[in-house]
Every structure is written in C-alpha cells, then in structure tokens.
C-alpha cells in the first residue's frame, strides 16, 4: 500500500484538510490560555491540543458508535427537521462558541475604562480553561472525524493524518497565540471567526449545511486585509517618529 500513489495522495489530502479544520481549534485555545498565568499557559496549551488528538483517535476507533449518532432522536414539527445525537452536540457546541466569543468581544470592547490605563484581564483558573477546551475539542473532533471517514477508506491513513495535523497544531499554537495577543485587532478578528464558526455549527445542527470553504476563504481574506492595515499603521508610526526626531533636532541643533 505504501508504494501506491493513491495511498499517499489520500494521506496528504486528508492531512491538509485536518490541518485546515484545526485552525479554529488553535484559535480557540489561543484565546482561552491567554487568561491563565504565564507559568501555566504553555502546559495548558499542550494539554488541550493533546486531548484534541486523544478525542479524535478515540472517536475513530468507535466508528460504529459514531455512525449511530446520526440516528434520529426527535423531529422539530415547525421545520420538519430530524435531530440526531450528532446534531445536538453541534447545536450545543455552536451555542457555546457564540456565547463565549460574544462575551470575549464584549470584554475586549467594554471591559476597560474609557479613560486611564487598560485594566488587566481577569485571570481564569487552569481547571476552568481546560474544561472549556475539552468541551470544544469534542465538538471539533466530531467534524474532524466525519471528514476523515468521508475522505479515506483505511483506518491507518486517518490516524496518521490526524497525528500529523495535531503535530502542526502543537508546533504553531504558541506562535499563533503570541501573535494574537500582541495585536488586539487580530484578536477581535479571531473572536469574530469563532463567532462565525459557532453560527455554522448551529446551522448544521438544524440541518442547514454551510460549506466551510467559504467561511475559511472569507476569514483568510479578512486576515489579509488586516495584515495590510497593520503594515500601513507601522509605516505611519515610523514616519511620525522620524518627523518628531527631525523636529527635535531642529529645535535643539
């Protein structure tokens, strides 16, 4: 099988897809671990992403149970929508993401006084942050495993692809988290991304399929625009600094 190009094609395609699907996981972890102490931050980050891998592999090894989650549990009379166990998990995860992202955006915009220095964010306990990471890991793992089952036929290909994707998440999680924390506008953009993902999960839970490709493209475009704005602001700040230095030199030659 290792000499078959189709096997390598499936492995690389699935690994790439899993990495893309892991972006929201990385952003969510980055937002949450910023609220714990510096000493615990790296430990919680690695533990949270490691648990994401455990949940994914655990769900893969229980594919039969996973397929049972698609069985209808109830029907909503108004829309005639059939709700399964998977749908309930997606709805719960979507509501959690919407609530958490909205709260974080509110804290970011209104949680500091209009005049005077910004108040430091209130620290959260490591246990509270880890529980929130575990909850959203389960929701994102469902999405990841369903994608894997649809793209590959061999279990070992799914496992290798997921391990590779989580390895990439571990490698870049700290850099992403530090970048988000250094740039408040990017953090707001990341929270808006999580809010959008929450609505997508909620819609899918109610049977409205929304292609995530459009969501990721829109967010990539928004991030590109924000990076251009950051570069523009840096150039403006550098030019203003040069003008101040020149003015100071002329006043005090």
Quick one: pLDDT at residue 116? 46
User: How large is the average pLDDT for residues 203-213?
Assistant: 78
| Crossing angle of the two packed helices 155-182 and 184-205, in degrees rounded to 10 | 140
What is the value of pTM for the model shown?
0.70
Burial of 127: CB neighbours in 10 Å, binned 0-12, 13-18, 19+? exposed
Residue 123 has pLDDT above 70, yes or no: no
Which two tokens mark 26? 């990385």
Quick one: pLDDT at residue 234? 82
DSSP annotation of 74: E
Quick one: pLDDT at residue 114? 46
Which two tokens mark 74? 């109830």
- Between 149 and 37, the more confident residue is 37
- Between 251 and 180, the more confident residue is 180
Residue 65 has pLDDT above 50, yes or no: yes
Residue 218 has pLDDT above 70, yes or no: yes
Residue 175 has pLDDT above 60, yes or no: yes
Mean pLDDT of the chain: 77
Residue 122 pLDDT class (50, 70, 90 cuts): low
């Amino acid at each position: 099988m290792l000499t078959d190009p189709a096997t390598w094609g499936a492995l690389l395609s699935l690994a790439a897809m899993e990495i893309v699907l892991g972006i929201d996981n990385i952003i969510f972890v980055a937002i949450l671990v910023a609220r714990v102490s510096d000493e615990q931050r790296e430990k919680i980050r690695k533990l949270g992403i490691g648990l994401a891998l455990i949940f994914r592999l655990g769900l893969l090894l229980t594919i039969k149970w996973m397929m049972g989650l698609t069985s209808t549990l109830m029907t909503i009379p108004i829309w005639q929508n059939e709700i399964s166990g998977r749908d309930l998990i997606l709805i719960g995860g979507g509501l959690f993401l919407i609530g958490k992202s909205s709260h974080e955006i509110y804290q970011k915009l209104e949680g500091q006084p209009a005049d005077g220095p910004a108040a430091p964010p209130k620290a959260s306990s490591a246990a509270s942050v880890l529980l929130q990471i575990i909850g959203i890991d389960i929701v994102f793992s469902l999405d990841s495993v369903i994608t894997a089952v649809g793209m590959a036929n061999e279990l070992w290909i799914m496992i290798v692809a997921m391990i590779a994707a989580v390895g990439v998440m571990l490698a870049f999680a700290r850099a992403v988290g530090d970048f988000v924390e250094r740039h408040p506008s990017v953090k707001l953009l990341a929270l808006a991304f999580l809010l959008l993902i929450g609505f997508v999960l909620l819609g899918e839970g109610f049977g409205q399929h929304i292609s995530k490709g459009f969501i990721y493209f829109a967010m990539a475009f928004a991030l590109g625009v924000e990076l251009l704005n950051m570069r523009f602001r840096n150039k403006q700040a550098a030019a203003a600094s040069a003008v101040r230095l020149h003015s100071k030199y002329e006043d005090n030659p």
